[in-house]
Amino acid sequence: MCSVAGLEERFHSFDLPFISRHLIHQAHLGEKWMQRNRMRAGVERGEVQIGTWLTTVQNPNILMLLKSAGLDFARVDMEHTALSIETVGQMAAMARALDFPIAVRPPAANREWITRLLDVGVWNIHCPQVETAAQAAEIVTASRYAPMGLRGNGGLSAATEFNPLGTVAERRAFANREVFITVMLETGGAFEHLDTIAAMPGIDALTLGPADLAQDLGVFGTPDQARVLDEKRDLILAAARKHGKTCAMLCSSPEQVEQWRTAGALLLAYSSDTEMLYQGFSTAVKRLKG
């Protein structure tokens, strides 16, 4: 377990070159270095990115469709679906080939799942049920190589695009810079630790899980639900601004997208494949059947 201060020391002491003269020389020879994580690059430029959840469709070709439709990313749910690690690995390969990022929510935000997802080529991990700063520190430790963390070493793999360019140190430095970690606060207790979680070096974005949070707070399905959740979203936004982190939001309507985009959230997940398919077919069937 690592404290906030310990992680800050790791991050500030890490000074390996991003791309060495050796890699620049190889680039001149036409050899390709690994591509950047498009989601992180967009965040660094301050761009608003709009995506959707994938909860039903498991064919990796869905990513081509979503990109063609104009979306910026897909958020793949393993927590509440039957998606396997093999399928997610295929999606990660398609995502890199398309330069269309996916973020994956694992069943649990532990070392086993974080390691497996990173090793199959996932850049962006959406960590559920984060309650404390200690848990956030464990997530950072699992997702970054030393000296930032203690990520397991998988060797040449989909995570490195099977690319042998550069030294091991350079590939690890690249991975540490490109991985993007979002944590989900989903209980009232988690919000008691919001400031220390947001301050954690290596945590890149903050969000909440609206349904689970509403349930924990006792307002799920009540007239107070929308108001209480908006109050918690405001707290997330304030903590993100204070600590220089990104804010991600799940939006169920175009109006919510506009609301939270205006408020400063950069990563906006609108609806899901399941909801869009249901709405599309149910609307069509009503017209077809009269």
Catalytic option among 12, 28, 80, 193: 80
pLDDT at 133: 98
80 is catalytic: yes
Task: Please list, residue by residue across 53-90, b when 16 or more beta carbons sit within 10 angstroms of its beta carbon and e when fewer do.
Answer: bbbbbbebebbeebbeeebbbbbbbbbebebebebbbb
Q: What per-residue confidence (pLDDT) applies to 6?
A: 59
CA nearest neighbour of 179 among 49, 92, 277: 92
The architecture in CATH of the region 4-289 reads Alpha-Beta Barrel (3.20)
Average pLDDT score over the chain: 92
Which residues, at least 6 apart from 209, have a Cβ–Cβ distance to it below 8 Å? 128, 129, 184, 185, 186
Distance (Å) of CA 283 to CA 66, 89, 256, 278 = 21, 34, 22, 8
**pLDDT for position 142:** 99
29-74 pLDDT per residue, tens: 445 668 899 999 999 999 999 999 999 999 999 999 999 999 999 9
pLDDT in tens, 131-175: 999 999 999 999 999 999 999 998 889 999 888 888 999 999 999
Residue in 69, 57, 59, 201 with CA at minimum distance from that of residue 139? 201
Tokens standing for residue 259:
């609301």
Alpha carbons 47 and 35: distance in angstroms, whole number: 19
Per cent of the chain over pLDDT 70 is 89
159 vs 2: CA distance, rounded Å: 25
Q: How many whole angstroms separate alpha carbon 236 and alpha carbon 28?
A: 44
pLDDT at 289 over 60: yes
Looking at residues 107-119, what average pLDDT do you find?
Answer: 98
